[in-house]
Structure 1
Amino acid sequence: MTDTRSALIDSRHLSLDVIRGIAVMGILLMNIVAFAMPFQAYMNPLAYGDPGPADLAVWATNFVLADGKMRGLFSLLFGASMLLVVQRAEARGESPVLTHYQRMSWLLFFGVIHAYGIWFGDILMLYAVVGMIAFLFRNMETHKLLTLGLVLIGAQAALVGVATHSIWTLARAAAAPGAEADTIAAWTSIAEAIGPLPPVELARELALFQGGYLGILAERTGPDFWQPIAANGFAAPETLGLMLAGMAGLKSGFLTGEWRAAAYARIARIGYLIGLPLQIGLALLLMRAGFDPVAIFFYDSTLQVIANPPLIAAHAALILYWVKSAQESALMARIAAAGRAAFTNYLGTSLICTTIFYGYGLGLYGELGRAPLYLVVLGVWAAILLWSKPWLDHFRYGPLEWLWRSLARRQLQPIRKNR
């Protein structure tokens, strides 16, 4: 084996771990609302409770800086890490096809367990299926990967735009004099999906998630069975585009910290100068529209898909500038450890938050306003940063990373570090 191949097998990129650590913690900034409130509140801060100025400020901050951006970072890193695993398999003389598809098959299994047994907002199923597709592009040139990724993100916006136009047409038809009952019912169903629930439905929702585990499980595997699958399918083009961009980021050396610090600073500056005004403008337009359902579909689900990439790139570049220009600190080391154990931390966050909010735990579902939820976020972040590094000081992998690796390789992997 050549020295180059040995270096590839043994390499560990601090930059990838730090970005992944920030992304896996940052995803909770948005997911916390879906853990703690009816899902309508995820996109519409007026959909539940009586939001005050602090709640709206929290929503606006997350909309501008986190919504779609942290998931975007996570998707970039998934694509980059997927390609890195494939390259290491090739360097070891192993089958990249077998290595990759065994990993994705087991990830799909974990995603099904997560979506139906723990929390409906799973992304592992999406990553597993889209990752199977992304593998087919692994040998594409860097600029072609990036171009195709951007095209797929544009295609996502176009598809949602078509759906938004249909919803706008339905809204006009339902509001027209003499509208048919079926038209009104169809529009009401859409409006309730992202707006305040009727009192009877709200009471049922609160009772369900403040109740026992078996009732929630029956809902997930019964009436809501297709919800995680539909949500994952809806986001597939954008996710594939981001994974391909992540593969391009690995090949170009951007995500591995091989560029000069000044280059990262320039990309961050340009990304924020483009992305922040777009995001702030969309947030203001949504508030001005009173979070009307059509406005949410248009400004949030359609236009934000296009507005997200500059900020995703800016966030990544800013993190990489920090890694490149600063000495490794205790904080950076803990965030990197959180990234190395991202799989465990992602599923662990779901276990912690469902235990806090659902009835089989503390039963706080629907009890906290939007702003106070971020005290819970800080607590979960503290737990992630406190456990990850001490664990990885003694073990090679996080617990679930070890299990995933052992299942994919069909034999138990060594987990303890040699002293």
Structure 2
Amino acid sequence: MDKQDGAPAQRLVTLDALRGFAVMGILAMNIVAFAMPEAAYISPKAYGGGTPADLAGWAIGFILFDGKMRGLFSILFGASMLLIVERARASGQDAAAVHYRRMAWLAVFGFAHYLFLWWGDILFLYACIGCIAFAFRDWEARRLIRWAVGLFALGTLLMTSLFGAQLVLAQAVDDPDAPAAMAAAGRDVIAGYVGLGDAVDAELALYRGGYLPILAERLGHADTPLLMVLMSALETLPLMMIGMALLRSGFLAGRWESAAYRRTALRWLPPGLLLTILLAWVQWRGGFDYLLSLNIFLAWAQPARLMMTIGYVALLVLLIRRHAASGWIARVAAAGQAAFSNYIGTSLVMTSLFYGYGLGLFGAVGRLPLYLFVIGASALMLLWSKPWLARFRYGPLEWLWRSLARGAVQPMRRASPAQ
């Protein structure tokens, strides 16, 4: 997430601007998890889906953002990791030591983020998977892509098998021809989701209250970040490997011909979009049954997300190259250079707005109006990042991470022109 000093100017603009779009875009889906109970992230039937406007807000999030911005973030993390490893080697440093120190401190930041701010942290996940991704640092691009696709397919298959089995068992309850053992197992599955309404009510009470009960609840579930690593490893690792491959091939640096980026976008974005729309229709047609939506969220939507993510990357690179000299791309790139600070800062702002120890808006804002908060937060990122980086070398948390990983306070303030 941190800025890559010393890279060519065009490469910096492309990578940092992509990261800026990603850190703003990821909030477009995370906003639901900030503002509503966790189950609402999976299905509008669980919470926040009672009006046509709510359903429109859900459709926008599911079709355009869900998993795609996280995918972009993961791809860029893999690319940044490879850049830092290569730079460490070029300067004669121990690349493994540099990498693992960075990942260790990122894990600390991530766990603190989860514990003290917000349950939806991804930094701890990235730190753990980043340690594994280091093993593939010397692979050439085609090999990285082949293995990434294979691992991604394996993860999708495992999730489909695990949660699809639950769906089949639950449907067996209403099938008079189903074996008794299968129907009994199905009733057990359904019983596990019966308490969903009570869980939603409990979350509403918790997050509309004070800070200490929220902290106590997180302390009681301190293993959640590790569980997320186990659940998401076969999605996140392949995406990081794809990021390494796309950097190594020059794709992320904007070095391909424009026609190649257009072909990539046309090859992957339309089928991914059509499949995502189909899955949205399946959920609507199924009455947003929670178990059905869970299967789609964790498994069935994965291929379409990957296709759309690659398509988005191609379109964004074209956009960035076309407007590389513009002031607004410079601001997006600055937001990307300070992506770590912007990501954590977003959690600080949003929890202060929605949780009870702040303005207490949790569960009180509809899905569609939530996008106004996304627009406002994105505007803040664009407003503060560029002036800050005009005076300082790094964002605040980028500087802290870099200093801790290097074991020495890093120079922060830029030299003035008169010096």
TM-score (norm 2): 0.93
d(CA) in 1 for partners of 2:228, 2:337: 27
SS at structure 2 position matched to 1:13: helix
Q: Which residue of 2 aligns with 1:243?
A: 240
Q: Which residue of 2 aligns with 1:71?
A: 70
Q: Which residue of 1 aligns with 2:213?
A: 215
d(CA) in 2 for partners of 1:121, 1:202: 16
d(CA) in 1 for partners of 2:305, 2:45: 23
Task: Map 1:258-407; keep pairs closer than 5 Å.
Answer: 258-407=255-404
SS at structure 2 position matched to 1:371: helix
Deviates more, 1:154-163 or 1:166-175: 166-175
Q: Which residue of 1 aligns with 2:15?
A: 16
- Taking a change above 3 Å as real, the CA distance of residues 157 and 19 of structure 1, as seen in their structure-2 partners, is same
CA contact (8 A) 2:13 2:324 kept: no
CA contact (8 A) 1:36 1:366 kept: yes
The one-letter code sitting in structure 2 at the alignment partner of 1:399 is P
The one-letter code sitting in structure 2 at the alignment partner of 1:415 is M
Q: Which residue of 2 aligns with 1:90?
A: 89
Cα drift, residue 173 of structure 1? 5.0
SS at structure 2 position matched to 1:54: helix
Cα drift, residue 8 of structure 1? 5.1
C-alpha distance after superposition, 1:305-325 (max 9, x if no partner): 111111111100011001222
d(CA) in 2 for partners of 1:181, 1:263: 54
C-alpha distance after superposition, 1:103-145 (max 9, x if no partner): 0000000011001111110100100000000000000111000
User: Given the alignment, which residue of 220, 224, 229 partners 2:226?
Assistant: 229
Deviates more, 1:369-378 or 1:407-416: 369-378
Cα drift, residue 72 of structure 1? 0.3
- Taking a change above 3 Å as real, the CA distance of residues 236 and 145 of structure 1, as seen in their structure-2 partners, is same
Kindly indicate whether residue 190 of structure 2 is the aligned counterpart of residue 187 of structure 1.
yes
Q: Which residue of 2 aligns with 1:53?
A: 52
The one-letter code sitting in structure 1 at the alignment partner of 2:190 is W
d(CA) in 2 for partners of 1:95, 1:191: 53
The one-letter code sitting in structure 1 at the alignment partner of 2:237 is L
The one-letter code sitting in structure 2 at the alignment partner of 1:402 is W
The one-letter code sitting in structure 2 at the alignment partner of 1:211 is G
- C-alpha RMSD of the superposition: 2.0
Deviates more, 1:289-298 or 1:331-340: 289-298
d(CA) in 1 for partners of 2:24, 2:415: 29
CA contact (8 A) 1:9 1:88 kept: no
Cα drift, residue 183 of structure 1? 5.9
Deviates more, 1:76-85 or 1:267-276: 267-276
The one-letter code sitting in structure 1 at the alignment partner of 2:278 is G
Which ranges in structure 1 are unaligned for 5 or more consecutive residues? Answer: 1-5
Q: Which residue of 2 aligns with 1:161?
A: 160
SS at structure 2 position matched to 1:372: helix
How many residue pairs end up in the alignment? 408
C-alpha distance after superposition, 1:39-98 (max 9, x if no partner): 111010121145211221121122111100000000000000000000111111101000
d(CA) in 2 for partners of 1:146, 1:61: 30
d(CA) in 2 for partners of 1:300, 1:293: 10
Q: Which residue of 2 aligns with 1:3?
A: none
SS at structure 1 position matched to 2:138: coil
Task: Map 1:128-167; keep pairs closer than 5 Å.
Answer: 128-167=127-166
Which ranges in structure 2 are unaligned for 5 or more consecutive residues? Answer: none
SS at structure 1 position matched to 2:301: helix
Deviates more, 1:178-187 or 1:268-277: 178-187
d(CA) in 1 for partners of 2:195, 2:139: 44
d(CA) in 1 for partners of 2:295, 2:189: 18
Kindly indicate whether residue 260 of structure 2 is the aligned counterpart of residue 255 of structure 1.
no
Cα drift, residue 7 of structure 1? 6.1
Share of identical aligned residues, percent?
49
